[in-house]
Structure 1
Amino acid sequence: MNRYFCIVFACAIIGTSLAAKVTAEQADISQKVELLWPKGAPGAKGSEDGDKPTLTIYLPSKEKATGTAVVICPGGGYGHLAMDHEGHQIARWLNSFGVAGFILKYRHRNSGAGYGHPAPLNDAQRAVSMVRSRAKEFNINPNRIGILGFSAGGHLASTAGTHFHKGRSDTKDPIDRVSCRPDFMVLIYPVISLIEWCAHSGSRRNLLGNKPDEKLVENLSNERQVTPETPPTFLVHTYEDKGVPAENSIYFYLALRKAKVPAEMHIYQKGRHGFGLGQKHGPVSTWPLRCQDWMRGLGLLDKKSSEGKQK
């Protein structure tokens, strides 16, 4: 009994220590959260936390900083956000090789008063413009700001990369006067199309409702919105993905190729939907290294060119 008690007591101490560590990390994170619109988001239907889109800021050490930044869009079917394995873990991974990470908490069907299109897109566009407008403060190059998304967050990221403005001259808001075009995209098992046979039904329903207008479905099926101005893109999917068919990535890649937009795609055979960084999931766990190689090839990890004029 004494031995059993000691083991239980030790486990309790370890558990308490881990909990304290997590709490400390969360406290640190909370100090870096900023509202996208301090005076209230456009179209906000309430004043709860879920009505207020935010960015959680992760900056790399000055020694590692490359001047590149990424806005991170966690997935969740436009009904929740996978903030840990598709948010905080991703920001820490980016920081490990000198890239600043900005986790976007965007509005969705079950946040606050409930939101569909265009609220998530407004939030993503604002996030890119905000990061770019404060490039000097964050020690980043305003011409090296990308967007990364998983699953439905990949749909949001690809929407931001195919639906953007280069600065609104008709507004007094200094952030909205800055371009919201991402300089590159990283899309991991993304929802791309909202065409019914290919779409993730939950994401489509949460974003557009049960009976969406067909013109809106077409406009937000991003494989049909690619132009030569669409940013260079890195795509990852798996053959076994039963949540979001790999055709989403494949058709987007083909559209990028047709428009002569630089792109790289990796289709792994094994891997369920939602694997995040892919740790303990076999070959798909190599995608972060492949992504770093791709970014390096574009000069995004070159410290020598970490400064630039704001767009």
Structure 2
Amino acid sequence: MNLHRRGLLIMGAAGPALAAALPASAKVQAVAPPDPTEVVRLWPQGAPGGEGVTVVPIVPERSTDPAYRDRYAQYTTDPIMTVMRPDKPNGSAMLLIPGGGYRWAVLDKEGFDVARVFAASGTTCFILRYRLPADGWTAGADAPLQDAQRAIRLIRSRASEFGVRPDRIAVLGASAGGHLAGLASARTDAAYAPVDVADAASLRPDLSVLMYPVATMADPHVHAGSRTHLLGEGPTPEQIAAYSLEQMGWTGAAPVFLLHAMDDASVPVENSLMLLTTLKAASVKAEAHLFQEGGHGFGIRLIQGRPAQVWPKLARAWAARLNFSL
């Protein structure tokens, strides 16, 4: 065993007290874990409706701490899923759809960070990097939905390759990603024309987890930025109704788990409350957890030591009662 590795093992066994006693030069700095390397392109022949798209993709890094990453993807033109395979698969899959107000999609806080938690308990995770509505795609507001539906179909059609069950595909969406996950859960119509055999598979998830979701596009509880980036300035009443989750038909949808902080100043908790009322009326199995504090966009890392840190455990317990391992 080399001396460097031996030193790391000694530090791990002795705990924080020894680490604190060491001089700064001898301490090992925490480094964010590497990204998974398995990537699946959603549209091998190119995403549909891109003839007028001229944006150039960027993935800026906002974190200055090497212990964690905080990237966002903007102007995506080649949507992908990054696959995070667990050491001991339990047969379930989860498509993670991070938020970003439909302006961009955060990759770490509500993507890789959350995926690592569920992969640790056996769920095969797929982190979605999706297109954005205002980038010139022919489908406009439906461009992100095309990507979400295509991702679900690819996971289901290639279930044996990924080591998952085709009837155990969950979707987890946060903030605006929660809106997109909600659209994928409620909509029964395909937002794009079939491109290959994978599109014969069902496009709806078997379970939905919506974290502090943007649900309504209507005042007074709308997240104005998400509405503007999704529908543009001054959307019509018809557009607002068509993209408000609480105004959609949910009959026959898969079970839904909602979590939200009461002190969310960005996406008011009424978004989840209104959606919950709609789900109950549609006889959709649903469970909601409202935390006294937590703010918005807490994901995993930003909730440690606060009431909402138990949400993954609550989600797993709920899914287990539905015979679904997360």
TM norm structure 1:
0.84
Decide which of 98, 118, 134 is 2:122's aligned counterpart: 98
Alpha-carbon spacing, 1:144–1:79, altered in 2? closer, same or farther (3 Å): same
Decide which of 192, 207, 227 is 2:250's aligned counterpart: 227
Contact 1:35/1:53 (<8 A) preserved: yes
State the one-letter code of the partner of 1:192: A
Q: Could you tell me which residue of structure 2 aligns to residue 258 of structure 1?
A: 281
Runs of 4 or more, structure 1, over 4 Å off, are 6-11, 46-49, 109-116
Counting only pairs closer than 5 Å after superposition, residues 78-117 of structure 1 correspond to structure 2 as: 78-108=102-132, 116-117=140-141
Decide which of 205, 214, 225 is 1:202's aligned counterpart: 225
Q: Could you tell me which residue of structure 2 aligns to residue 271 of structure 1?
A: 294
Calculate the aligned-residue CA RMSD, in Å: 2.5
State the one-letter code of the partner of 2:216: S
Q: Provide the C-alpha distance between the structure 1 equivalents of 2:195 and 2:143, rounded to a whole number of angstroms.
A: 20
Counting only pairs closer than 5 Å after superposition, residues 1-311 of structure 1 correspond to structure 2 as: 9-10=25-26, 14-15=28-29, 18=30, 22=33, 25-26=34-35, 29=36, 31-44=37-50, 45-46=53-54, 48-49=56-57, 50-61=76-87, 64-108=88-132, 116-165=140-189, 171=194, 173-277=196-300, 279-301=303-325
Q: Provide the C-alpha distance between the structure 1 equivalents of 2:324 and 2:112, rounded to a whole number of angstroms.
A: 21
Contact 2:257/2:288 (<8 A) preserved: yes
Contact 2:133/2:141 (<8 A) preserved: no
State the one-letter code of the partner of 2:42: L
Range that drifts further, 280-289 or 252-261: 280-289
Q: Provide the C-alpha distance between the structure 1 equivalents of 2:203 and 2:241, rounded to a whole number of angstroms.
A: 22
Contact 2:149/2:190 (<8 A) preserved: no
Contact 1:135/1:141 (<8 A) preserved: yes
Q: Provide the C-alpha distance between the structure 2 equivalents of 1:120 and 1:272, rounded to a whole number of angstroms.
A: 26
Q: Which runs of 5 or more structure 1 residues have no equivalent in the other structure? A: 1-5, 303-311
**Partner-residue secondary structure (3-state), 2:312:** helix
Range that drifts further, 142-151 or 293-302: 293-302
Q: CA deviation at 1:38?
A: 1.1
**Partner-residue secondary structure (3-state), 2:238:** helix
Contact 2:142/2:191 (<8 A) preserved: no
TM norm structure 2:
0.81
Q: CA deviation at 1:113?
A: 8.1
* Number of residue pairs aligned between Structure 1 and Structure 2: 284
Q: Provide the C-alpha distance between the structure 1 equivalents of 2:282 and 2:246, rounded to a whole number of angstroms.
A: 11
What are the superposed Cα offsets for residues 138-181 of structure 1, whole Å, 9 maximum, x if unpaired? 1111111111100000000001111134899x745112221111
State the one-letter code of the partner of 2:79: P
Q: CA deviation at 1:116?
A: 4.4
Q: CA deviation at 1:91?
A: 1.1
**Partner-residue secondary structure (3-state), 2:303:** coil
Q: Provide the C-alpha distance between the structure 1 equivalents of 2:217 and 2:152, rounded to a whole number of angstroms.
A: 24
Contact 1:80/1:111 (<8 A) preserved: no
Percent identical residues: 38
Q: Provide the C-alpha distance between the structure 2 equivalents of 1:33 and 1:275, rounded to a whole number of angstroms.
A: 26
